[in-house]
Amino acid sequence: MLVEKSVIFFDIDGTLLTEDKSLPESAKKAIQQLKSDGHEVAIATGRAPFMYKELREELGIDTYVSYNGQYVVVKGEVIYTNPLNEIEIEKFTEDAVKHGHPVVYMNHEEMKANVTEEHAYIQESISSLKIYQMPSHDPEFYKGRDIYQALLFCAEGEETVYENQYDGLHFVRWHPVSLDIVPSGGSKAVGIAKVMEKLNYPKERQYAFGDGFNDVEMLSEIHNSVAMGNAEPEVKEKAKYVTKHVDDDGLVHGLQMVGLLK
């Protein structure tokens, strides 16, 4: 029987990787099977490209949406970038300094912090990604270069002092003490749309798996969307399907649910 070829986008944390940031053998085998069947396997993540290079290499994936849609690569070629506005970053940084909240700036190759000391919130949140190289100090890193995402470090609720103050910035919490800052209007869904301009799969053959609040637009707009069992209720509401918890082979179960795997 001829299998219709599809494109499948996977979030990383809580979707491909378990709660302890390991890649289940079942998920790895599933990706290999999808590729063997001729499907296009891609990643859509809030992470920087340099934060999951080894994972891409392990899985043989060369199409990916990074920084929640701000840096998009198709088959190894950068096809779309959407950097933050430098003037707006500068204004925001001044505001963050007044409130005692550190900021980290990220381009496609590295990340730098505007604080010199090792801040507990930076250590806690970034180390939770199993990334042990912390950003070094460079408060002017955002000047004269493309910054695709910044990180704000503050406790839950403290970000309200920034919201609605910056028309060009969008804040998405990804950790109890950290938020992603991306350009307004930017999302994984936008990044995926750029991929589709290149790969041109019909909407019926597009799939997306995710679990976080930065997956809401993707799960809302992709025709065949699957929320992980570990997703928050608000995220699950946006998906067409809900699978098991990531730690309970949720990825494989979801692929079977939508008919991509037997």
Is 66 in a helix, a strand, or coil?
strand
DSSP annotation of 17: B
The pairing of strands 136-137 and 111-113 is: parallel
Cα(185)–Cα(169) distance, rounded to whole angstroms? 9
Burial class (CB in 10 A: 0-12, 13-18, 19+), 233: exposed
Retrieve residue 45's tokens.
Answer: 């993540």
Question: Which of 11, 13, 180, 215 is the catalytic position?
Answer: 11
Active site residue 95: no
Q: Strand 178-183 and strand 149-153: pairing? A: antiparallel
Instruction: Give the residue numbers annotated as catalytic, written as ranges.
Output: 11
